[in-house]
Amino acid sequence: MKISKLTPNLEVSDIKDTVAFYLDILGFNLVMAVPHSQDSMDQKFSPEKEYVYAMVQKDNVEIMFQRSDSFKNDVVFAENLPIGASVSFYMDVEGIAELYEDLKNKGQAMTVLKTSWYGMKEFYMKDPNGYILGFAEKSE
């Protein structure tokens, strides 16, 4: 078996709100969105449509979001599980100090930027659905 890529698919309560966070706060780009009718893929949100799925991307990171009802229908193992996770999505970044200050200026709740015992300068925050996002850069 060869694994070439890992793209998390996160269960979320609201596609547009979640994507807005990743675009406006973290600088991701919308790749595509699937409306409730599931009969097309949109490259941008339409104000009159509700969405069940979206994918965002920044550099080499892609994240998929799927609305709870659709997610639980497709991923049956998620039945009766809450949104959120006891896992962190850990991303290597360049310019950790600048990112930290930018997010701080946007009023985001974050852990303190610190250097870990394993040599990474890092901090954590939560997205609007409770998913834990970690950002790290190798300490000099």
Q: Are 31 and 68 contained in the same domain?
A: yes
Using one digit for the tens of pLDDT, what is the confidence trace for 14-38? 999 999 999 999 999 999 999 999 9
What is the average pLDDT score of the chain?
A: 94
Element (H, E) at 101: helix 96-105
Give the pLDDT confidence score for residue 85 in this predicted structure: 74
Task: Rounding to the nearest 10 degrees, give the CA dihedral for residues 79, 81, 86, 92.
Answer: 50
Look up the CATH number of the domain holding residue 37.
3.10.180.10
The whole-number average pLDDT for the span 51-79 is 95
Q: Tokens at residue 1, please?
A: 């078996």
Number of domains in the chain: 2
Residues 89, 71, single domain; the answer is no
- Reported as a single tens digit per residue, the pLDDT across 91-130 is 999 999 999 999 999 999 999 999 999 999 999 999 999 9
The residue segments making up the domain with residue 59 are: 1-75
**DSSP letters along 30-68, please?**
EEEEEETT-S--BSS--TT--EEEEEEEETTEEEEEEEH
Whether 53 and 88 share a structural domain: no
Q: CA 28, CA 26: separation in Å to the nearest integer?
A: 6
Q: Are residues 70 and 4 in the same domain?
A: yes
Residues 104 and 48 grouped into a single domain: no
pLDDT, tens digit, for every residue of 119-139? 999 999 999 999 999 999 999
The reported pLDDT for the residue numbered 84 is: 80
Question: Are 89 and 122 contained in the same domain?
Answer: yes
4 and 54 share a domain?
Answer: yes
pTM: predicted TM-score of the whole model, two decimal places: 0.90
